[in-house]
Amino acid sequence: MRAFKNFTGLVAPLDKSNVDTDQIIPKQFLKSVVRSGLGAGLFYSWRFTPQGAEIPDFVLNQERYRGASILVAGANFGCGSSREHAVWALDDYGFRAIIAPSFADIFRNNCLKNGLLPVALQAGAVRRIIDAAGARAGYRIAIDLERQTIADEQGQREAFDIEPFYKQRLLEGLDDISLTLAHGEEIAAYERRHLPPYPRL
């Protein structure tokens, strides 16, 4: 996994709650057998007409938000399907962090496995960021994972929570599987005392 580095990035506001993974990456992009290139399908039905032309109103199509690396959205972001393609698409498009009042469980897990930082803040704080990103061109936020804070240039500063275990993995870009394989002894011991698997039919 790519290690998470502190950064300052342009903020794009998506003022909707319950953004589901079917919207983040529609099914026609799930036929891929690779992880890369999914940014092209990100928010496809909101970004493009059925003929493939950009819908100018949609936030990511507005000139001032091009190159955004932080997405700020409403509550329960990433609900629905478990498709990790949603995270791959956000990442491939260039997002490095998502700020929202809350995240769906599986989506949040998928973020943490891919170095995309889910930042959960109080609804009021998220509202201020959405409003600021709408009001000021070039509105940017600095994210500091070590200190667990975000701050804008106007002085809004917020702290966020993250489990120490996941924070460590993000900062070091650690590969989960090698860490787990280091517990090979414990797994083997568990298998010896646990029930045998299925009969081979």
Partner 1 sequence: MAHNSDVRPIAGAIAMTAKTLFEKIWDEHVVYQQSGQPTLLYVDLHLIHEVTTPQAFEGLRVASRKVRAPERTFGTLDHNVPTTDRTRPISDPESATQVEAMRRNCAEFGIKLFALGAREQGIVHVIGPELGLTQPGMTIVCGDSHTSTHGAFGALAFGVGTSEVEHVLATQCLWQVKPKTMEIWVGGRLGAGVTAKDLILGIIGSIGIDGATGHAIEYCGPTIAGLSMEERMTVCNMSIEAGARAGMVSPDQTTVEYLRGRPYAPQGAAFERAAERWLSVRTEAGARFDSSHRFKAEEFAPQVTWGTNPGMVVEVTGKVPEPGAIADPAARAAAARALEYMGLVAGTAITEIKIDRVFIGSCTNSRLSDLKAAAAVAKGRKVARGVQAMVVPGSQQIKAEAETLGLDRIFKEAGFEWRESGCSMCLGMNADILKPQERCASTSNRNFEGRQGPGGRTHLVSPAMAAAAALEGHFVDLREFRIEPLG
Give the binding site for partner 1 (CB under 8 A). Answer: 16-18, 20, 22-23, 26-28, 30-35, 45, 50, 74-76, 79-85, 87, 102, 104-106, 109-110, 113-114, 163-165, 176-177, 180-181, 183, 186-187, 190-191, 194-195, 197-201
- Shortest CA distance to 106 belongs to which of 137, 126, 82, 72? 82
Rounded CA gap, 80 and 170, in Å?
A: 24
Rounded CA gap, 149 and 142, in Å?
A: 8
Q: 105 or 153, CB closer to partner 1?
A: 105
What is the β-pairing status of strands 117-120 and 140-144? Answer: unpaired
Facing residues of 13 across strands? 72
User: Helix or strand or coil: residue 73?
Assistant: strand
Q: 80 or 134, CB closer to partner 1?
A: 80
Q: 6 or 168, CB closer to partner 1?
A: 168
CB of 50 to partner 1, least distance (A): 6
Q: 153 or 186, CB closer to partner 1?
A: 186
